[in-house]
Amino acid sequence: MPQQFILIINAGSSSLKFKLFSTELREIAEGIVEKIGLDGSFLNYGFSKKGQRIEVKVKDHHQAMEAVVDSLRPSTRSARSGQAHSTMLSVDFKSIVKVGHRVVHGAEKFIRPTLLTARTIKQLEKFNKLAPLHNPNNIAGIKACRALLPAAEQWAVFDTAFHSTIPDYAYLYPIPFKIYQERGVRRYGFHGISHQYVSGEASRLLKKKFPNLITCHLGSGCSITAIKAGKSVDTSMGFTPLEGLMMSTRSGDIDPAIIFYLTREGMTITEIDKLLNSESGLVGVAGLKDMRDIMVASGYKISNYRSPLKFSKQQKYLASLALNMFVYRVRKYIGAYATVLGRIDAIVFTAGIGERNADIRSLIVKGLPIKTKILVIPTNEELMIAKLISNT
């Protein structure tokens, strides 16, 4: 019987990431199409540990998926790599039996892996207004895959699903209850696939089936989740991914009356939306998005990284201020969730900053009154999706 595969797709606004797994969940290939719909679009992919980069003209997600499927064809790969066709694993349309899609928002309706049909896609589109920067792109990737791989089962796995176990007293906001009933305004939480993956890995490492954990996903977007007996019971992101921690360009928690004040001062809602989502956080305080640059400007040395920037005295002060604000807010959430959980088996760090920046981790945990294990676990959302849909 020919080998069968599971393809995992994570479609963003101008990028499409993919990983290919065997049905035994062995990773076969991975890659990303970047600059979809823009000049200079390209595909980076690796197959059997060998990387390739090719220029591809892609105007939309359908063409991006065509480039992905094309990169998996033996004849295409051998032509580009110079390897003989016979040495390459055969991957064709029929050998991909399942496709898993990361979908950011499933609201309260979609709380488990869902087989995608024309009907469920139509239902999903109703939630585009809850995640306008994410869900439409996720759905574009779904539609492209359905067209190109019609024989494969298409499954959606939702970032919000892992947080469906949060109790009502934690997910509701103290606003009129009818706003929740009529408009669905509540805490949904995000990064759920990542939090679920690292919590499973922590359970394995701790040799404990249902541990109490505080999982810290610290990257460009940041969130912290309190996990009690293996289930999410609270998380820092809320109705949207704007709430919670200070992030690369997002403000995180602020006094909501600031928005009313700024409107009275002449700013439009669109301008405030852009301010809080794209011009705040690290870049708003320090003028720098990259935590590595902020660390260098604050006097730290980053292994294998040399900042191309020169920093003035004022920039150094603002970088140090941004770093202190970031660390302080992470520590506050850890302290709050320690109270929620009572007993903690481990604090887990993951994502770009959490995994790679030992100085940040040290600053966060230094002096914490909580004495517990500190785990660093690289996240693998694609493998988590593959695991979830392989069991369906």
Q: What percent of the chain has pLDDT over 90?
A: 67
What are the residues whose beta carbons fall under 8 Å from the beta carbon of 153, sequence distance 6 or more?
Answer: 97, 98, 99, 115
Least confident of 88-102, 110-124, 167-181, 218-232: 88-102
Considering the domain architecture, whether residues 256 and 342 belong to the same structural domain is answered as yes
Pairing of strands 114-115, 96-103: unpaired
pLDDT at 333 over 90: yes
Per-residue model confidence (pLDDT) at position 130: 84
Q: Which residues are catalytic?
A: 159
CATH no. for residue 76? 3.30.420.40
Whether 238 maps to a domain, the answer reads: yes
Considering the domain architecture, whether residues 146 and 284 belong to the same structural domain is answered as no
Please state the domain count of the chain. 2
pLDDT at 167 over 70: yes
Quote the CA–CA distance of 187 and 164 in Å, as a whole number.
10
Considering the domain architecture, whether residues 274 and 359 belong to the same structural domain is answered as yes
If pLDDT is split at 50, 70 and 90, which confidence band does 370 have? Answer: confident
Considering the domain architecture, whether residues 244 and 363 belong to the same structural domain is answered as yes
Considering the domain architecture, whether residues 263 and 351 belong to the same structural domain is answered as yes
Per-residue model confidence (pLDDT) at position 50: 62
Whether 326 maps to a domain, the answer reads: yes
Per-residue model confidence (pLDDT) at position 78: 43
Considering the domain architecture, whether residues 116 and 51 belong to the same structural domain is answered as yes
pLDDT at 74 over 50: yes
Whether 180 maps to a domain, the answer reads: no
Considering the domain architecture, whether residues 152 and 289 belong to the same structural domain is answered as no
Considering the domain architecture, whether residues 230 and 368 belong to the same structural domain is answered as yes
Range ranked top by mean pLDDT from 73-77, 128-132, 194-198: 194-198
Per-residue model confidence (pLDDT) at position 261: 98
pLDDT at 51 over 50: yes
Considering the domain architecture, whether residues 222 and 299 belong to the same structural domain is answered as yes
Quote the CA–CA distance of 359 and 326 in Å, as a whole number.
13
Q: What is the mean pLDDT of residues 304-330?
A: 94
Considering the domain architecture, whether residues 283 and 352 belong to the same structural domain is answered as yes
- Spell out a b/e string for 93-116, using b for 16 or more CB atoms within 10 Å of the CB, else e: eebbebbbbbbbbbbeebeebbeb
Per-residue model confidence (pLDDT) at position 219: 92
Per-residue model confidence (pLDDT) at position 38: 75
Segments forming the whole domain that contains residue 331: 210-381
Torsion of CA 266, 268, 272, 273, to 10 degrees: 180
Considering the domain architecture, whether residues 142 and 217 belong to the same structural domain is answered as no
Considering the domain architecture, whether residues 226 and 354 belong to the same structural domain is answered as yes
Partner residues linked to 54 by β-bridges: 43
Q: What is the mean pLDDT of residues 79-100?
A: 62
Per-residue model confidence (pLDDT) at position 308: 87
Whether 351 maps to a domain, the answer reads: yes
Tally of CB atoms within 10 A around 30? 17
Whether 78 maps to a domain, the answer reads: yes
pLDDT at 79 over 50: no
Please report, in angstroms and rounded to a whole number, the separation of the first and last CA atoms in the chain.
21
Per-residue model confidence (pLDDT) at position 82: 44
pTM of the predicted model as reported, rounded to 2 decimal places: 0.90
Whether 386 maps to a domain, the answer reads: no
Mean pLDDT score of the chain? 90
Tokens matching residue 150: 């019609």
Is the separation of the CB atoms in 235 and 228 below 8 Å? no
Quote the CA–CA distance of 349 and 369 in Å, as a whole number.
18
Tokens matching residue 380: 């693998």
pLDDT at 67 over 70: yes
Is the separation of the CB atoms in 195 and 162 below 8 Å? yes
Whether 330 maps to a domain, the answer reads: yes
